Amino acid sequence: MSSSLKNELSTSDFEVDSRELRCHWRVRIVNAVHSIRVAMTLLALAAGIVVLGLSTDTLAVYNVTHLPVDYMLPLWPQNFDVRPTNALVAGSAIVTAMNAVSLLASKTQSVRGRPMIHSSVSIVVPVTGFIASLIAVVMFFAINTSATDETFQSWVCRWKTVPMSTRPHFGTLCKESQAALALAVLLVPLELIILATAGFQVILEKKAGTVARSRGSPTLS
């Protein structure tokens, strides 16, 4: 075998190895981005569950302790607006459901093996979660700033220092309401970051998948 032919074969082998290394590097990057997205989705799911639990508990306490207007000493005012709390319940329920679906899809090989379905779920879920959390937070602050109607948080936090031996325990309800609102506000940028990460992952998967199919390299898992 001539030296020129040996050099050509060596160069060809080097180019193939270089392409394989780049392909495997892309796959590793995709898997790393996927792991980051799953971790943030899990965090959003946990936050959604906490917001849902706290908001539902505060509403349950209100429903149990709410008295008709003909009582001499009602615990809650007549001009009471529970829409901000209802908004947190609805928004967190949607966020919880969507992120649960996203995690299930990310762990199911039959879904991950279908790029179109997996990409659609990865994008639709954070978009829905972002919109739901944003609407809930905007509605909460918009109604909570009313100068005429009392909201759940404004009322219980106003009387949080009043000692109570039985429900509704305004101090506890104030802390629960504030914690639920803080987590709901946190969900807005978190869902936006998840959306950006999902979009980046979709782009990387398309590039890595194209190279893998053209070179016969291992597919993403």
pTM of the model: 0.79
Q: With helix as H, strand as E and coil as C, how does the chain read?
A: CCHHHHHHHHHHHHHHHHHHHHHHHHHHHHHHHHHHHHHHHHHHHHHHHHHHHHHHHHHHHHHHHCCCCCCCCCCCCCCEECHHHHHHHHHHHHHHHHHHHHHHHHHCHHHHCCHHHHHHHHHHHHHHHHHHHHHHHHHHHHHHCCCCCEEHHHHHHHCCCCCCCCCCCHHHHHHHHHHHHHHHHHHHHHHHHHHHHHHHHHHHHHHHHHHHHHHCCCCCC
Instruction: Tell whether the model's pLDDT for residue 5 goes beyond 90.
Output: no
What is the rounded average pLDDT of the residues 49-59? 95
Q: Taking 80 as the threshold, does the pLDDT of residue 220 lie above it?
A: no
pLDDT band, residue 155 (cuts 50/70/90): confident
Task: Quickly state the pLDDT bin for 55 (edges 50, 70, 90).
Answer: very high
Tell the burial category of 101 from Cβ atoms under 10 Å away from its Cβ (0-12, 13-18, 19+).
middle
Query: 165 or 211, which is more confident?
Result: 165
pLDDT tens track for 170-180: 899 999 999 99
Q: Once rounded to an integer, what is the mean pLDDT over residues 10-34?
A: 66
Structure confidence at residue 210 (pLDDT): 53
**pLDDT tens, residue by residue, 89-127:** 999 999 999 999 999 988 887 776 777 887 888 899 999
pLDDT at 69: 62
Q: How confident is the model over 187-207, as pLDDT tens digits?
A: 999 999 999 999 998 888 877
CA–CA dist 97, 35 (Å, integer): 20
Q: Say what the pLDDT of residue 114 is.
A: 78
* pLDDT of the residue at 188: 96
Average pLDDT in the chain:
81
Token pair for 97: 């459901």
User: Which position has the higher pLDDT, 74 or 108?
Assistant: 108
CA–CA dist 146, 139 (Å, integer): 11
